Amino acid sequence: MKATVPITAVGLKAACAQCNLVELCLPFGMSDSELHRLDDLVGARRKIKRQQPLYRAGDPFEAIYAIRTGSFKTDVLLEDGREQVTGFQMTGEILGLDGISTELHSCNAVALEDSEVCVIAYDRLEELSREVEGLQHQFHKVMSREIVRDHGVMMLLGSMRAEERLAAFLLNMSQRFTARGFSAAEFHLRMTREEIGSYLGLKLETVSRAFSRFQDEGLVTVQQKHIRILDNAGLKKLIQHQQRAC
Amino acid sequence: MKATVPITAVGLKAACAQCNLVELCLPFGMSDSELHRLDDLVGARRKIKRQQPLYRAGDPFEAIYAIRTGSFKTDVLLEDGREQVTGFQMTGEILGLDGISTELHSCNAVALEDSEVCVIAYDRLEELSREVEGLQHQFHKVMSREIVRDHGVMMLLGSMRAEERLAAFLLNMSQRFTARGFSAAEFHLRMTREEIGSYLGLKLETVSRAFSRFQDEGLVTVQQKHIRILDNAGLKKLIQHQQRAC
DNA sequence: CGGACTGTTGAGGAACCTCAATAGGTGTGG
DNA sequence: CCACACCTATTGAGGTTCCTCAACAGTCCG
């Protein structure tokens, strides 16, 4: 019953110009002529099965990845078994930027569902972004956005209470689903309570209880991983502080 | 008695080739010929008095900054007055990367002591890094390092307990002082207990108590902001998990 | 259909926070 | 140079939030 195909099957070449994720992804804002030069850059696609790693901490860094379908989590594991989820990534988002600094990946990227990524060889990205101004600029923005996002998470972990954290998490998910053309009010979480908890610096029981309380208060409907937001404003009110990107 | 000079006095041009911080700063790893091209890039220096902001959240983004002397904190303020310190920066470190993504700064950078920075106009940095490969590469590494560092803080905030956080903080400071040629065992913290607490997701009283416990256990000597590490291994043991960069 | 994984709920405890009093340090102006 | 005010740090007592442990229910998958 063992699968004989390698987990990392190599697929067709990507074509950014034809991809409907352009607006969410690395090529955003680039001109048509610039866009076509990316076809040299974006190599093969790679399929990753649910629960399988795209890369692991310590792996040599060679490429960054744009998510074509599916979703991922990134995490850091500690010697004593503790796990810190550092992010959840959806289609169009870029994985692997952590590897540039030491030329080794510093965290694990694991598929939350069967997924597919576009492989972007890093040396070629540097090469091309020396020639294509729009690519260079957009790449820098992507990295900067990751920094800003991380600051937001630090804010969440450092200064907010359990219910505020979960509310912020739900609103963030809702917003990202919206950007991808899905419903803002109703969606399916791909991660477990434990993974949400790890991301939010909470135990899974605390996440579960917070969900239940939100449901009792009529803010959301929760059925396992299926979430329906009933009172968006109510959730926003929970996080008093203006919800900036940072 | 009021100072008549503007807070942001413009000084001499920087000269990376002559600067003793080269190994810690943006030009790291660049060849001599590449290095000299930076003189075009690094514009004026700017002095910032203690407690004064280098930039604020919402300011238009135009430049990044390399710290020449002194130190800074970056933070995000919430509507209700809560502050989250997102980092402490020392000489040679780069400030302002958060601004690239939206072309507005997303946090505040405040001097912890009288400081001086090199101003690096961002559009010229992009321009020059299209021509100077070493600059491009090093700039990307700097951004990536920031992401990895942020993941480390998320780990700290999400998975560690008060004493572990403070131990990790002290070891990190010690290591950074060492890299700058100062003593690893004895140093002067530039930030208050409240700022440390904000950074570590703790209240200032908790930080103070943890310091006292460390002192009782013979790990450190604490006199206000003056720290002496007596038992480095003991601190390391406190954070069970291997202390990786991430 | 059975087993494993995932999620919910309860009871009790630990870690950290809040409030408060006090001491120590720093800087300014008389 | 001292006195005062203000800021910073320490310490204690009591409270709250979240964690731990545990039992059980629901769901998914072979």
Domain finish residue from B118, B136, B155:
B155
Pair of tokens at residue A52: 């399988």
Tally Cβ neighbours within 10 Å of residue B205.
Answer: 11
- The set of residues with CB closer than 7 Å to nucleic strand D is A 161-163, 201-203, 205-206, 223-224; B 192-194, 204-205, 207-209, 211-212, 222, 224-225
Whether B150 maps to a domain, the answer reads yes
Q: For tokens 């990753």, name the residue.
A: A48
pLDDT at site A7: 43
**CB within 8 Å: B240 and A98:** no
Among chain B residues, the shortest Cα distance to A246 is held by B106
Among B136, B145, B240, select the one facing A130 at the smallest CB separation.
Answer: B136
Whether B245 maps to a domain, the answer reads no
Among B136, B140, B147, select the one facing A147 at the smallest CB separation.
Answer: B147
pLDDT tens, B27-36? 999 998 899 8
**CB within 8 Å: A151 and B150:** yes
Whether A140 maps to a domain, the answer reads yes
Does the beta carbon of A237 lie under 8 angstroms from any beta carbon of chain B?
Answer: no
Which DSSP state fits B61? P
Q: How far is CA B186 from the centre of its chain?
A: 19
Query: SS3 for A131?
Result: helix
* CATH number for the domain that contains residue B187: 1.10.10.10
Both A124 and A71 in one domain: the answer is yes
Both B166 and B229 in one domain: the answer is yes
Whether A5 maps to a domain, the answer reads no
Pair of tokens at residue B74: 């970056």
| pLDDT cut 90: percent of chain B above it | 82
Both A104 and A214 in one domain: the answer is no
**CB within 8 Å: A76 and B151:** yes
Both B52 and B145 in one domain: the answer is yes
- Which residues in chain B are closer than 8 Å to A150, comparing Cβ atoms? 147, 150-151, 153-154
Binning pLDDT at 50, 70 and 90, where does residue B2 land? very low
Binning pLDDT at 50, 70 and 90, where does residue B11 land? low
**CB within 8 Å: B76 and A155:** yes
Q: Using CA atoms, how far apart are residues B148 and A9, in angstroms rounded to an integer?
A: 29
**Contact present, A46 and A9 (Cβ < 8 Å):** yes
Both B199 and B218 in one domain: the answer is yes
Residues 6+ positions from B184 with CB-CB distance below 8 Å: B174, B175, B177, B178, B229, B232
Whether A183 maps to a domain, the answer reads yes
Q: Tell me how far apart the terminal alpha carbons of chain A are, to the nearest angstrom.
A: 47
* CATH number for the domain that contains residue B32: 2.60.120.10
**CB-side exposure of B142: number of CA atoms within 13 Å?**
24
pLDDT tens, B142-179? 999 999 999 999 999 999 999 999 999 999 999 999 99
pLDDT tens, B103-134? 999 999 999 999 999 999 999 999 999 999 99
Q: Using CA atoms, how far apart are residues B142 and B138, in angstroms rounded to an integer?
A: 6
The mean pLDDT of chain A is 91
**Closest CA of chain A from B121, distance in Å:** 14
Domain finish residue from A132, A155, A178:
A155
Both B111 and B210 in one domain: the answer is no
For chain A, the C-alpha Rg in angstroms (whole number) is: 19
pLDDT at site A10: 52
Tally Cβ neighbours within 10 Å of residue B17.
Answer: 13
Alpha carbon separation from A149 to A51, B78, B106, B107 (Å, rounded): 24, 16, 10, 12
Whether A3 maps to a domain, the answer reads no
Apex A176 CA angle, A20 and A50, nearest 5? 75
**Contact present, B153 and B184 (Cβ < 8 Å):** no
pLDDT at site B4: 41
Is there contact between B201 and strand C, defined as CB under 7 Å from any strand atom? Answer: yes
Both A109 and A133 in one domain: the answer is yes
Query: SS3 for A72?
Result: strand
Both B113 and B90 in one domain: the answer is yes
pLDDT at site B13: 63
pLDDT tens, A39-74? 888 889 999 999 999 999 999 999 999 999 999 999
Q: For tokens 């510093």, name the residue.
A: A106
Q: Strand C proximity: list residues 16-55 of B with CB under 7 Å.
A: none
Count of domains for chain A? 2
Counting Cβ atoms within 10 Å, is residue A202 exposed (0-12), middle (13-18) or buried (19+)?
buried
Both A140 and A56 in one domain: the answer is yes
**Closest CA of chain A from B86, distance in Å:** 6
Q: Using CA atoms, how far apart are residues A155 and A168, in angstroms rounded to an integer?
A: 11
Give the domain range for residue B74. 10-155
Both B34 and B108 in one domain: the answer is yes
Does the beta carbon of A123 lie under 8 angstroms from any beta carbon of chain B?
Answer: no
Q: Smallest Cα–Cα separation from B57: which of B95, B131, B109, B121?
A: B109
Both B45 and B126 in one domain: the answer is yes
pLDDT at site B97: 98
Domain finish residue from A155, A183, A215:
A155
The phi and psi torsions of B69 (rounded to 5 degrees) equal -140, 155
Query: SS3 for B124?
Result: helix
Question: CA–C1' span, A28 to C10, in Å?
Answer: 50
Whether B244 maps to a domain, the answer reads no
Whether B124 maps to a domain, the answer reads yes
**Closest CA of chain A from B63, distance in Å:** 13
> What's the mean pLDDT in A75-99?
94
Query: SS3 for B47?
Result: strand
Residues 6+ positions from A167 with CB-CB distance below 8 Å: A214, A219, A235, A236, A238, A239
Buried b (16+ CB within 10 A) or exposed e, B173-182: bbebbeeeee
Both B145 and B35 in one domain: the answer is yes
Query: Does residue A190 carry a pLDDT above 80?
Result: yes
